[in-house]
Homo-oligomer: A and B are copies of this chain.
Amino acid sequence: MLIHDAAREAHVAARRPPAAALEAVLSALAERFGNRFSRNRSILDQHAHTRTQVRAEAPDGVVFPHSTAEVAEVVRLCAAQRVPVIPYGTGTSLEGHVNAPYGGISIDTSGMNRVLAVHAEDLDCVVEPGVTRKALNQHLRDHGLFFPIDPGADASLGGMAATRASGTSAVRYGTMKDNVLALEIVTPQGEVMQTSRRARKSSAGYDLTRLMVGSEGTLGVITAITLKLSGIPEATSAGICPFPTVKAACDATIATIQSGIPVARIELLDALQVRACNLYSHLGLPEVPMLFVEFTGTPASVAEQTEAFGAIAEDLGGGPFDWATKAEDRSRLWQARHDVYWASFTLRPGAKIISTDLCVPISRLAECVTATQADIAETRLVAPIVGHVGDGNFHLGLLFDDTDPDEMSRVDAFLDRLVRRALAMEGTCTGEHGVGQGKAGYLREEHPPAALAMMRAIKQAIDPQDIMNPGKILPIDG
């Protein structure tokens, strides 16, 4: 899984741009962008990936553009010298997406943080890629609208589009693929183009918008995003419900969705994750599998949903269902849910963490999670589990000691088994984190050769010089 070895080092050395080409780009950028360009070591390091098991690989320079035209200038400079371009949002991605394995220029979009338009009647808005989801929702509040996709981190919307992010609200609102209406991108040739128009739907040719969503910067740089918005619901209630087993919690989720309850969020925490949350957030919950749920709508509809869910939970051996309509109680619960990453460390202070990401058909979720728990125990690892259970998507916070070679080899073997278990159940190696470098090798097992060949053909057709975030998504040696 850790994709660094001698063969790869040789490949990287061969693929780096010649020193003269790189220097030409670096000096042109320094001249053009002044103090909005940096080769400072700590700035370079900040723009490489450091939060996960993927080794950090810093770019050669970082540029901070303020406009689409400036991004296009940077890409044209890089294209002329075949120097890699790596788009950068907030750096919260988890699979090495912002690394620069072959060096090159990181384009930091944090200065492109304007909300360009809000069309309240059309329930859409146009934002620059550096706008974060929290900043956007702050901006939208007065319109009675919000952008529902919530991956937990306060990620940039450009990064969320690039990784096809989703999170806790996907069960109701879908993923970024369902909530991006159009993109402005800078192509690998440095041209600015709109992928589609602002109409709510279209059948006018290939769906370039969806091709770009989830392409992780490998086909172009996203410079503006037209997003679907939703009305802020009139009423919200949230609650937690214990279950005797993971299977019972998953069955309750399936029954909830089948019965048409438009649940806004439904999250599974396994017993160990509940324990971590108790330690971190002092929740005092029974340490058994638990569903965190949220209902939204009119007050009458919320009451009806809450009651219907409570009945389903009870039928399946769960409960008591404890629910809260007070905003402060809801906030406390969901804050605890959002803090699971940090809470996990309480189980093994000083450990490193890998946040994994699998998704299987929901009918296989209980089986997949239960088998994974058994594997964790047998492999003597510590790994609490949290799941966006309405989508069949789950994460492990795998805590490990990277100075212990024996443990590291157990971790590597476990992670391979984890992915293969999901793939064997018609699942995917990543539900929402994306491929980056960390999952690239698994695409060979997930997709048939013809599909991977088609992805390569598309990449080659759109970015024949392979300058756009090279070394991501597609396995490097095949």
Contact = CB atoms under 8 A, between A and B. Distances in A.
A187 B443 contact: no
Interface string A411-432: 0000000000001001111111
A451 interface: yes
Interface string A444-478: 00111011101101111110000000000110000
Nearest to A433: B203
A374 B357 CA distance: 55
Contacts of A262: 262
A175 interface: yes
B211 A297 contact: no
Given A362-B121, A363-B121, A208 B427 contact: no
Chain A interface mostly: loop
A258 B204 contact: no
Contact of A205 (B177, B363, B435): B435
A55 interface: no
Contact of A304 (B298, B428, B474): B298
Given A198-B427, A458-B458, A460-B461, 16 more contacts: A121-B361, A163-B203, A194-B447, A200-B391, A200-B393, A202-B359, A203-B428, A203-B435, A204-B428, A204-B443, A205-B452, A230-B260, A231-B259, A233-B260, A298-B304, A458-B462
A201 interface: yes
Interface of A: 119-124, 144, 163-166, 170, 174-175, 177-178, 187, 189, 191-208, 210-211, 213-215, 219, 230-231, 233-234, 254, 257-260, 262, 297-298, 300-301, 304, 357, 359-363, 391-393, 423, 426-435, 439, 442-443, 446-448, 450-452, 454-455, 457-462, 473-474
Contacts of A362: 121-122, 200
A448 B361 contact: no
- Kindly list the 8 A-B residue pairs having the minimum CB-CB distance in the complex, ordered from nearest: A210-B210, A461-B461, A193-B450, A121-B363, A202-B428, A457-B461, A198-B426, A231-B260
Contacts of A434: 203
B361 A201 contact: no
A439 B191 CA distance: 25
B199 A359 contact: yes
Interface centre among A200, A203, A300 (most CB of B within 10 A): A203
Contact of A432 (B201, B392, B462): B201
Contacts of A474: 205
B458 A206 contact: yes
Contacts of A428: 196-197, 199, 201-204
B258 A123 contact: yes
A244 to B, nearest CB: 20
B193 A448 contact: yes
B462 A430 contact: no
A235 to B, nearest CB: 10
25 contacts: A121-B362, A122-B361, A164-B202, A193-B448, A193-B454, A194-B448, A197-B427, A198-B361, A198-B426, A201-B359, A201-B393, A202-B428, A203-B357, A203-B433, A204-B443, A204-B447, A205-B214, A206-B211, A206-B455, A207-B213, A208-B451, A231-B259, A233-B260, A298-B301, A300-B304
B231 A187 contact: no
Contacts of A433: 203
Nearest to A443: B205
A214 B360 CA distance: 26
